[in-house]
Copies of this chain bind each other. A is one copy, B any other.
Amino acid sequence: MAEKYVYSWGGGTAEGNATMKQELGGKGANLAEMTTIGVPVPPGFTVSTKVCGYYYSHNETLPSTLEAEITEHIARLEKNKGATFGDLENPLLVSVRSGAAVSMPGMMDTVLNLGLNDDVAAAMGKKINNERMAYDSYRRFINMFGDVVMGVDHHKFEVKLSEAKKKAGVQNDNELSADELKEVCQEYKKVYEAETGEAFPTDARDQLDKSIMAVIKSWMTPRAELYRQKEKIFGLEGTAVNVQAMAFGNMGQDSGTGVAFTRDPSLGTNEFYGEFLVDAQGEDVVAGIRTPMPIKEMKTVWPDIYKELDDIRLKLEKHYGDMQDVEFTIEKGKLYMLQTRTGKRTGLAAVKIAWDMVQEGKISKEEALKRIDGDHLNQLLFPILNPSEKASAISDNRLFSTGLPAGPGAATGQVVFTADDAVAWHKQGKNVILVRKETSPEDVAGMASAEACITSTGGMTSHAAVVARSWGKCCVVGAGDLAIDYDAKTVTCNGMTVKEGDILAVDGSTGEMIVGEIPTSASPVIAGVVDGDTEAQKTEVFKMFNDIMNWADGVKKLTVRTNADSPRDSKVARALGAQGIGLCRTEHMFFEGDRVWSVRKMILAESEEARKEAIAELLPYQREDFEGIFKEMDGYGCTIRLLDPPLHEFLPGDEAGMKEMAERMNVDISVVKEKIESLHELNPMLGHRGCRLSITYPEICVMQAQAIIEAACNEAKKGTVVKPEIMVPLIGKEEEFQILAKIIRETADAIIAERGVDVSYQVGTMMEIPRATLVADKVSGGDAGAEFFSFGTNDLTQMTFGYSRDDIGSFLPEYLDQKILREDPFQSIDQEGVGYLVERGVTLGRQGRPGLKCGVCGEHGGDPASVKFFHGVGLDYVSCSPYRVPIARLAAAQAVIEEK
């Protein structure tokens, strides 16, 4: 028996259901499911994702049995709909939509009104007694088919439409008469013929086959690939193709179309939320060409339909158990649902909906934790515009415009008007605000590069809004009073003109845009949690955040520490739930203020004694830093890494700096230059740094151990519970650790004995050299061994891959494009290679020292996927930057839940 590739639905039954997303795509599976549970859905069929998979794995050919199977399902659809392809009496018109297992809004191309040709359009116009609508549908179809299937520039059709409107002296498309639209259709067909070199196809099956093929091909377009990359969507077979009988929203004032969410996708509030347009087809809403009406106004316009829609909303949310994003069309007073899917939401909404549903008894706390991802949580922690500065800017008449608050957070940056400029300026290190009339999938890369996006048209479900929200990016849409001049590169509003490069501040939670810079400040959660702002603590957001973090802590097994180098960072991190410091980098302490001069004196010193003298100057400062950190981390372990960077990083890079150094050091500038020259390295990453510094200059190690232990003793005397963990970086051979650990322990023990304070400490190592992970048992083993491991996955990634993090930019984009890498391995850990070494290091390390404490302190400690991996290999803790701590806590809980 041949494999089944096509699945029908209609007439209250369906061959598919909601569990079949892999084969039918999300859209197809849910259309089948809705049909089965009694929601009104136009009939249709789905061409399975297997066809797409087959196509790309069989040299771009289709399964031999497909054509016949489609013929069979067209017949079934014709029967269900009571209409026939090409029939002049009762023509079947269909939509062709893509739909993969994972929703990719705006990424895949859609064709509506398929089945029309000159004859059918004419016959249909007569039959429905609405020629205008027939030709409107026809011209839309020619446009979409031309654009989507054949790659004709959409703009070429638009020009013709504009000419027709001008000729007719009207403003809006729907003011054109039937004859005028008929003329537009002929013009469109000419455009089509001119651009493609062939006549517009008149046969419906021919139209359908070409459209299905176009959907399949759109799976591999660069923009689709970019979206999958950005969203980390891998392992799908391809897209399904949904062929569905048309429902017409453009059949007059008793018709319309809309999209809605079963709850507010921006704030999460439990109320029906959406938009609709009267006498319009679906793409008018999504494309943001006309600004639609809020869904609640439907109560007034069509009270019965609103009631029916609201019932369906409740039915669907109950059935699916989560907030839904639906599309619907009303054709001459009859409601059809065209799609339902789990709705994308802002971080705030995700948290609010999950938290509400727990309160409503609809889902468990664990289920709630599963539904919130790190990015969602991150959005709660996003900055807001400084309230007083913003208020004063508004009173200064700097409010530029207000649009729809489509994406969270706030941002300040320089205005650019094209996606390419956004990419280019961003590469130059600038913060940019992308301002567009509307956005399209072509703009995705530019949006990704921008701090915020602004559009003058479109609603909360427009392309810009959906994409920005899913990325947690600040976004304002539908700011209709913005006059954008792409040629002049200006945007004018409210009597002000903002030019390319000017500064604009954007508030994604209110939709306000303000001219000039406004400092951003922490979110209410941060204000409440970190700064103890009592007003902020009264907010629901604050309460939700706390509840969710508590739920996560109740589940997770990993401890979450933080990477912090100062008392301030320690305090923030602790407020955000960090239980200790996983990485305190001490080199920052060498740079601050005048300290670098002592370091430079040490570097220039000719004798060990002179070096010791210079470095002794740093001791009191370091000790003070450590005291502050220990105090903030009272009761928790603090892992402090000995000096890591190569010495040349402390020397001036320019002539002026060298001159200043020579003067302060009272030496000839040639001495400074010679020293800089002698410390120059071809590959500093693989050079004289880390523990290698302490092996050659043990006095650095001694001073640092002294500062740490003296600080610990001082704080312990004041009653602080101090747990210093001294970390030796860049170990490759066990001997390096043993030699330095001996120096550290001797220094520490002498101080503790002298002070008579009860301070216990550990000496451990950073695992970041591939070799160290291979001999980890020797590093941890024996009395002289390491008492803890902290995996430095940044450097471990650099050396395991042979990638310099600083230089990867020259080939990383190509590597992502060609799918050699699925993502930047410095952002999410390479589980197969680097992860193997981590796992081996843990296993061997615990062979050498049973129960060895193991953690990670690379950037990966704040990446959810990496956190889950680290949970899996049995680490005791992850450590990340302070603001990533909540995300790590959540991911650690999810790791446990997902394991079940």
Chain A positions near chain B (C-beta within 8 angstroms): 679, 681-688, 692, 695-696, 730, 732-733, 735-736, 739, 768-771, 774-775, 795, 798-804, 806-807, 810-811, 814-815, 818-821, 830, 832-834, 836-837
With A732-B801, A771-B800, A774-B836 in contact, is A811–B696 under 8 Å at CB?
A: yes
Are B735 and A820 in contact, with the CB atoms below 8 A? yes
Contact at A807–B732, with CB atoms within 8 Å? no
Taking a contact as CB atoms under 8 Å apart, the answer to whether B807 and A735 are in contact is no
Q: Chain B's nearest CB lies how many Å from the CB of A198?
A: 31
Say whether B683 contacts A686, CB under 8 Å: yes
Q: A683: which B residues are within 8 A, CB to CB?
A: 683-686, 804, 806-807
CA distance A807 to B692 in the complex (A): 12
A731 CB to closest chain B CB (Å) equals: 10
Chain B: CB-nearest residue to A820: B735
Can you report 22 A-B residue pairs in the complex whose CB atoms are below 8 A from each other? A683-B685, A683-B804, A684-B807, A685-B685, A685-B804, A686-B799, A688-B811, A696-B810, A696-B811, A696-B814, A732-B801, A732-B802, A733-B821, A735-B818, A736-B820, A739-B818, A769-B801, A769-B802, A770-B800, A770-B837, A774-B832, A799-B800
Residues of B within 8 A of A696 (CB): 810-811, 814
Task: Please name 14 further chain A to chain B contacts, defined as beta carbons within 8 Å, in addition to the given A730-B802, A770-B833, sorted by A numbering.
Answer: A681-B810, A682-B806, A683-B686, A687-B807, A695-B814, A695-B820, A696-B810, A696-B814, A732-B802, A735-B818, A771-B830, A774-B800, A795-B802, A799-B800
Bound-complex Cα distance A804 to B686 (A): 5
* CB pair A733 B820 closer than 8 Å: yes
Q: With A774-B832, A820-B695, A837-B774 in contact, do A803 and B686 touch (Cβ < 8 Å)?
A: yes
* B804 contacts A682, C-beta separation under 8 Å: yes
Quick one: given A696-B811, A815-B695, are A775 and B686 in contact (CB under 8 Å)?
Answer: no
Asked if residues B695 and A811 are in contact (CB atoms below 8 Å), the reply is yes
Nearest opposing residue in chain B for A811, CB measure: B692
Closest 5 CB pairs of A and B: A686-B804, A683-B804, A771-B833, A687-B807, A688-B810
B685 with A833: CB separation less than 8 A = no
Q: Which residue of B lies closest to A681 (CB)?
A: B807
A800 to B834 alpha-carbon distance, docked (Å)? 12
Checking B687, B775, B821 against A810 with a beta-carbon cut-off of 8 angstroms, the contacting residue is B687
Q: How far is the CB of A57 from chain B (nearest CB, A)?
A: 14
Q: With A774-B833, A832-B774 known to touch, is A686 a contact of B735 (CB < 8 Å)?
A: no
Q: Which residues on B sit within 8 Å (CB–CB) of A799?
A: 686, 770, 799-800, 802
Question: Inside 8 A of A801's CB, which chain B residues have their CB?
Answer: 732, 769, 771
A400 to chain B, nearest CB (A): 37
CB distance from A437 to the nearest CB of B (A): 32
Report yes or no: A820 in contact with B739, Cβ–Cβ below 8 A: yes
Contact A682/B807 with A739-B820, A801-B771 known, Cβ cut-off 8 Å? yes
| Cβ-closest chain B residue relative to A696 | B814
Task: With CB as the reference atom, state the residue of chain B lying closest to A736.
Answer: B820
Hey, which chain B residues are within 8 Å of A802, CB to CB?
Answer: 685-686, 730, 732, 768-771, 795, 799
By a CB distance below 8 angstroms, the chain B residues around A679 are 810
In the bound complex, residues from chain B placing their C-beta under 8 Å from that of A684 are 682-683, 804, 807
B-side contacts of A688, CB under 8 Å: 807, 810-811
Chain B residue at minimum C-beta to C-beta distance from A697: B814
Q: Which residue of B lies closest to A795 (CB)?
A: B802
- Docked CA distance A729–B686 (Å): 20
Q: Using CB atoms, name the residue of chain B closest to A771.
A: B833
Complex contacts, A771 vs chain B, CB 8 Å: 800-802, 830, 833-834
Residues of B within 8 A of A775 (CB): 832-833
A682 vs B800: C-alpha distance in the bound complex, in angstroms?
A: 18
